[in-house]
Structure 1
Amino acid sequence: MKQTSSLLQALGSGLAGALVLNILHETVRHIRPDDAPRMDVLGKRGLRKLLRKADAPQPDEDTAYGLTMLGDLVSNGLYYSFVSTGRGVWLRGVALGLAAGVGGVVLPGPMGLGEAPSNRTPQTKAMTVAWYLIGGLATAGVSWAWSKAQE
């Protein structure tokens, strides 16, 4: 039972961090369209690239956006769930958040997704790293609170 509870805590905390991350991205891109990170654009590019390689039909823009948001929540939620495993959730939240943010700045170009959505200005780069760090910290906070509630 404890193992199931730990898994639920990790997945639930990871999903909370992913939600915070996506809400930040989506809110700031409407407030600061010139330099906000556009991870949604990278996600749609990645989706379309995968579908082309699979010779699958391309979705319309709204469907691509919805699939990208769903994919972001699932993938970031699973990634952030590693924050909640074992002791040191705050340190792991910082480390995994920073790693994801730096990856979000440096990896899209080599992956063939373009650099501008996360790398176009110094502010864009800083926000990309900061948003993923905040997602990691949100995950750690939820996991910590979950642990305290179970004590």
Structure 2
Amino acid sequence: MKKKKSARLPQALGSGLAGALVLTAIHETARRISPDAPRMDVLGMRGLRKILNQTDAPQPDHDTLFNLTMAGDILSNGLYYSLVGRGKKVWRRGALLGLAAGVGGVVLPGPLGLGEAPSNRTRQTQLMTVAWYLLGGLAAAGASRLWSKSRK
């Protein structure tokens, strides 16, 4: 018997959230340890400031900006990784989505006017950026598989 489509949504969202939390934990831990660690938090804060400037909205203080950025990162990455979904090719989808996000994290900030240094400063920074987004995608895939097994 096939599960209802509505039963798939909590699994997709939950596994996406798991991937986003793993990614954020890696980023936040590494930035405190390594000077070459990607600073996606800086890119996020720059992006949020840019949006607030364009809308003439008040600028929050640094701590509020950081917290809003972290919440936005977890939400947006969670929704993105929820595309991993479920099924037989979940590991492949997780890897491909993670790699695409990692490459985008290296390539897109410059053209978007956010600066290149936070994710593109050294070869090591670039590799960490791609690897960590890949790990987020694989964490989402793993969470999806665990969810599937626990529901059987």
Which bracket does the TM-score occupy, shorter chain normalised?
over 0.9
Q: 2:19 — aligned with what?
A: 17
- Aligned Cα RMSD in Å? 1.0
Matches within 5 A, 1:104-119: 104-119=105-120
Distance 1:4 1:123 in 2: 42
Which residue identity is paired with 1:54? T
Q: Is the 8 A contact 2:86 2:144 kept in 1?
A: no
The answer to whether residue 35 in structure 2 is matched with residue 44 in structure 1 is no
Runs of 4+, deviation exceeding 6 Å: none
The Cα of 1:87 is off from its aligned counterpart by 3.4
Question: Equivalents in 1 of 2:136, 2:19: separation in Å?
Answer: 4
Offset of residue 5 of structure 1? 1.9
SS at match of 1:63: helix
Distance 1:37 1:123 in 2: 9
Q: What are the superposed Cα offsets for residues 98-147 of structure 1, whole Å, 9 maximum, x if unpaired?
A: 00000000000000000000000000000000000000000000001111
The 3-state SS of whatever aligns with 2:6 is helix
Quote how far apart the aligned CAs of 1:148 are.
Answer: 1.1
Cα distance in 2 for residues equivalent to 1:144 and 1:85: 7
Kindly report which structure 2 residues correspond to 1:96-111, keeping only aligned pairs within 5 A, or say none: 96-111=97-112
Extract unaligned runs of 5+ from structure 2. none
| In structure 2, C-alpha distance between the alignment counterparts of 1:86 and 1:148, rounded to whole Å | 11
- C-alpha distance in 1, partners of 2:75/2:86? 18
| Aligned match of 2:96 | 95
For 2:30, the equivalent position in structure 1 comes to 28
